[in-house]
Structure 1
């Protein structure tokens, strides 16, 4: 069957998604509607989904969907109510968390062009729904109402909805959500509908005692963009169709920090074209949210780590805005093409930041990003496909390949292409690219062929030379692990100054250097360069240096979490015990996966007891995806027996 599907995929010129068990090439999911009755106290959801499928093969006898630890009660045809036979087929290594197959036997053979509407009755809870973060009321600021949020990227949506969990398939999405507590407010991907007549798929008792929310999205999206929050949250306008959503205590502070959202939206549209999704809403989630941001249409998620107090952390917000064009409108076909989403977004983000903060500041961002990507490459191995822009995730959970590599190498490739095509024509190329592939899921070969065609059409006498240069390096850039084949010049005096100051601290062996106070004037990205130099040379950093720097800069318990994260990396590398309580506080209050994975890896090596004690202490605070990642990391460092 896999060979047959591969042949069919190749016949359509598409790269098959190896991370779905669904038969999406034979039958395409066109629409998904869910009805959820939330019980946040019990961390349980009573659920029904209704899907419309379009048959794309000549003889279809079954529909295979992706699921992960869902309790399937019944599957039936929407039109007749006839129950269909189904079975759950275990697939592969269960430790990889890829999920299983819900295989549904149809009532007859369906042919190409026919539509099938199915209802699936199922339940889910906090133990199996790895896409959901359930917070008890004690874990919220008000301590009065529980909280729920989702994180479906990469392939975690199968743990909350039975569907074709692949970016290759885009669906119209609607939802009806019912909650028992009137204090709970709900937002989902899509427009919130009011006073709309509807017919529930389930007959809920005491409906008058429930609060009901409805959502509708009239642009197709892949499964990983489905998102929900439910809790004591409110929204506040920041002007021109932009909004901030947060817990009531934080809403004014967060809205002030993000008051320039209309400016970011305006500048992005000026560069890349009209915004088509409607309102733009950004949710600042509780601290256990596992990522910096997540780009659900009309409901961007962001970590509170972006709230620094001086608007210096808003690059994440601009990055997520960029996803409205690249990622959400034009989507990478599978997780091997993740860079088509993220590399383009980093490029757009830095284009806007260069207009706001200047080119030297953006160069620092590129330097810091490349450093993070190289750290990931060393962790994966420089010859591992995960160190390339095209990771091989066959029989792997694509979450394992998540790193800065596709972001930064993708950005560098686009910057290189811009240098060949020149800035203004490349901007037009990006606009034409979005328009040509609007609402589609594509792979890098489609992008490559469009790029060459565009250059031949628009660059005239220069075209042949540019095409030859692109052809020479494309495969090396996309498929070869390790550093990019061509180095992009991002040199800036800001980088040199930060490195010189860091070196002066090392050479001073505990005495503050002459220009020590310059650090206080640095922006966060320059502070990051400073700290990265110390991390790269940690064996030369003496305890007296750490003590004096901490005394002068107050780095332990520093407010900017991106800066203090790098400081804590240095703390754990040089074993600066005086700052351990700061590390403990950080891992207890910040749920960002990329930070925690690095810190727990260092803790496992150098502070084994604290690694296990702090993880046990905070496991209920972390998102399920983060828990699974840390457990895997700590397996490398078996718990040591401590004899008092």
Structure 2
């Protein structure tokens, strides 16, 4: 049963103004996990050497300058390490390091290493005197970010829904936190953190942490300061900040929605199921340990669908469909509270441990809230997408365990980690039975909480606690084949949804036999069925080959209103068809779409399709991108720049 409860302020006033900020709420469990030895893994995407000296806490005191597009101030780092360690190595990229001091204010020597365009620089700090046994010491780094810091996007008022005030948000995954915080930027080096952020008093600041001052506090003429604390140690990529014209409305006593005031009512209606999702997730795999679970719906330039920042998921407005048809993204980011935030991949080579577990868990939440059939539909769509991905990647990149040395870890952000990883877990569930699998998975989260996880440690855990020496079961699971070999192992059974049978029949009739578009059926279908319909392709279709005539495209567009479709997922699927056929009305719709949002999932494939259309598509792609690029986050522009060979 859904827990849609009103907060005390809502009961008292039933107005938005009365519920402008969420209540301060402590985590229901001890904030600091039990101490356990950590076996650090060498991370090729970090300069840090945590086995020698490591950061355990970050305390930020920063001021946000929206005119200069800079955060500036100090990061006080609590460090510990081996007895006798006399230096610590941090990650920094495009940071202006002004000074480093010890806790007493005495200057410490530091140096920046060679600048790598991907990894940035090693910031090596001499500690002055060696660390004593068991000692934790504080050092203070005085620094400023640069206007082009890759983790930060500074929006002018025109780029927001309200159009009145500027906006700032961060996106740290995978290795971009080092562009706004000087720390050891590796997912295996967990750190608690706190922050005091000063900003113009017309804005509200939020972070992925407990909001200690939900309404801020005076900080001088025209300024307010906002304080935050995260007592559970998290990987640095989960440190996140946003500031802007932000309002809040509660869903129940521990969930709610932040967004711009003009967007709040629609977002709140859309995400009412969040409260029930938290309940169902806990029933599956144990207590939610982070206290609150809130959503921040960002301006359209946010590059991802969602980001699982603890206590405060950052999400794209493209999931506000008006009918709750895309709320599986919320289930996904919520599931990360266990798989990713609690048990985290030690390095980005093991990214599947975050995302494969999360896609599996997301689907279980969706099944619990919306039923088995809806969950199966989403499994099938994921399977279809995975087949396209497997066909497009080199074999080595279709393995779950990746080798990303010398590469941007974002190259591992494919459906292999997400959908193949989830398919692996579903295969284990099918073979051992759901009850037995659930018992193991709940124990897996408990045993490995706050531990950097590797594929090899996963195998140790599942063999010790599920396989338990059963050689026949080990052989049946084919775990080594799933993890270390390309493609899909022979024990995988693709998902099937009965709800897609009439959809497939209609698609064959329309696309292969020339039947009229099925408006009556379309109106009855849910979003997933519409996606399935638009995803149909003839068998043996070659790259660049048309499968529809101009008359068929026009009939589809007119009958189903596809170029003006409001659901972002459905519109994207249609635009991929239209652009691949050089259908001019789709080009007009694509231009509007690409100028309205910056979600990389949509932006990069659409520009890729345009680019592949040669003399017709490339001039169009160049013209649109020239106008759209300033609206996009660096995560998105980095991908599209490479595709288009963009030099500005």
Given that 1:98 and 1:396 are in contact with CA atoms closer than 8 Å, whether structure 2 keeps it comes out as no
2-side partners of 1:266 and 1:320: how far apart? Answer: 14
Q: CA deviation at 1:209?
A: 4.2
Q: CA deviation at 1:132?
A: 0.8
Match of 2:31 in 1: none
Gaps of 5+ in 2: 1-36
Match of 1:633 in 2: 643
Match of 1:88 in 2: 112
Given that 1:137 and 1:144 are in contact with CA atoms closer than 8 Å, whether structure 2 keeps it comes out as yes
Match of 1:610 in 2: 620
Structure-to-structure mapping, 1:37-56, within 5 angstroms: 37-56=63-82
Given that 1:36 and 1:45 are in contact with CA atoms closer than 8 Å, whether structure 2 keeps it comes out as yes
Secondary structure class of the residue paired with 2:564 = coil
Match of 2:352 in 1: 339
Secondary structure class of the residue paired with 1:108 = coil
Correspondent of 1:498 among 485, 495, 503: 503
Structure-to-structure mapping, 1:249-268, within 5 angstroms: 249-268=262-281
Does 2:533 correspond to 1:533? no
Q: CA deviation at 1:535?
A: 8.1
Does 2:159 correspond to 1:139? yes
Secondary structure class of the residue paired with 2:128 = strand
User: Relative to structure 1, is the Cα distance of residues 195 and 631 closer, same or farther in structure 2, using a 3 angstrom cutoff?
Assistant: closer
Match of 2:411 in 1: 400
Given that 1:501 and 1:516 are in contact with CA atoms closer than 8 Å, whether structure 2 keeps it comes out as no
Does 2:94 correspond to 1:74? no
Secondary structure class of the residue paired with 1:126 = coil
2-side partners of 1:71 and 1:164: how far apart? Answer: 16
Gaps of 5+ in 1: 1-10, 199-203, 640-644
Q: CA deviation at 1:47?
A: 2.3
Match of 1:278 in 2: 291
Deviates more, 1:291-300 or 1:522-531: 522-531
Deviations 1:149-176, CA, capped at 9 Å, x for gaps: 1110111100000111111111111000
Q: CA deviation at 1:35?
A: 1.0
With the length of structure 2 as denominator, give the TM-score of the two structures.
0.89
Q: How many equivalent residue pairs?
A: 605
Correspondent of 2:516 among 512, 515, 538: 512
Deviations 1:489-526, CA, capped at 9 Å, x for gaps: 312222332222122112344x406x552122111111
User: Relative to structure 1, is the Cα distance of residues 160 and 638 closer, same or farther in structure 2, using a 3 angstrom cutoff?
Assistant: closer
Match of 1:121 in 2: 142
Q: CA deviation at 1:547?
A: 0.8
Correspondent of 1:151 among 164, 171, 176: 171
2-side partners of 1:91 and 1:392: how far apart? Answer: 23
Structure-to-structure mapping, 1:146-545, within 5 angstroms: 146-179=166-199, 181-194=200-213, 207=220, 209-381=222-394, 383-385=395-397, 387-456=398-467, 463-470=470-477, 473-509=478-514, 511-512=515-516, 515=518, 517-534=520-537, 537=541, 539-545=546-552
Q: CA deviation at 1:111?
A: 5.0
Deviations 1:601-628, CA, capped at 9 Å, x for gaps: 1111211011111111011110011111
Does 2:123 correspond to 1:102? yes
2-side partners of 1:346 and 1:535: how far apart? Answer: 28
Given that 2:40 and 2:188 are in contact with CA atoms closer than 8 Å, whether structure 1 keeps it comes out as no
User: Relative to structure 1, is the Cα distance of residues 494 and 195 closer, same or farther in structure 2, using a 3 angstrom cutoff?
Assistant: closer
2-side partners of 1:236 and 1:196: how far apart? Answer: 14
Deviates more, 1:533-542 or 1:99-108: 533-542
Given that 1:37 and 1:178 are in contact with CA atoms closer than 8 Å, whether structure 2 keeps it comes out as yes
Given that 1:390 and 1:478 are in contact with CA atoms closer than 8 Å, whether structure 2 keeps it comes out as yes
2-side partners of 1:140 and 1:159: how far apart? Answer: 24
Does 2:589 correspond to 1:582? yes
User: Relative to structure 1, is the Cα distance of residues 86 and 556 closer, same or farther in structure 2, using a 3 angstrom cutoff?
Assistant: same
1-side partners of 2:215 and 2:527: how far apart? Answer: 47
Q: CA deviation at 1:577?
A: 1.6
2-side partners of 1:228 and 1:557: how far apart? Answer: 34
2-side partners of 1:543 and 1:534: how far apart? Answer: 16
User: Relative to structure 1, is the Cα distance of residues 411 and 263 closer, same or farther in structure 2, using a 3 angstrom cutoff?
Assistant: same
Match of 2:15 in 1: none
User: Relative to structure 1, is the Cα distance of residues 89 and 549 closer, same or farther in structure 2, using a 3 angstrom cutoff?
Assistant: same
Match of 1:594 in 2: 601
User: Relative to structure 1, is the Cα distance of residues 308 and 215 closer, same or farther in structure 2, using a 3 angstrom cutoff?
Assistant: same
Q: CA deviation at 1:307?
A: 0.7
Secondary structure class of the residue paired with 1:311 = coil
Match of 1:562 in 2: 569
Secondary structure class of the residue paired with 1:341 = helix
2-side partners of 1:577 and 1:267: how far apart? Answer: 46
2-side partners of 1:226 and 1:42: how far apart? Answer: 22
Secondary structure class of the residue paired with 2:74 = strand
2-side partners of 1:299 and 1:483: how far apart? Answer: 35
1-side partners of 2:249 and 2:38: how far apart? Answer: 46
1-side partners of 2:180 and 2:647: how far apart? Answer: 33
Secondary structure class of the residue paired with 1:83 = coil
Match of 1:26 in 2: 52
User: Relative to structure 1, is the Cα distance of residues 47 and 77 closer, same or farther in structure 2, using a 3 angstrom cutoff?
Assistant: same
Match of 2:8 in 1: none
Q: CA deviation at 1:212?
A: 0.7
Q: CA deviation at 1:110?
A: 3.0
Deviations 1:31-59, CA, capped at 9 Å, x for gaps: 00111100123312212101011113x54
Given that 2:45 and 2:405 are in contact with CA atoms closer than 8 Å, whether structure 1 keeps it comes out as yes
Deviations 1:508-554, CA, capped at 9 Å, x for gaps: 44x406x5521221111111111111487562222211111111101
2-side partners of 1:388 and 1:456: how far apart? Answer: 22
Secondary structure class of the residue paired with 1:145 = coil
2-side partners of 1:112 and 1:171: how far apart? Answer: 20
Q: CA deviation at 1:456?
A: 4.9
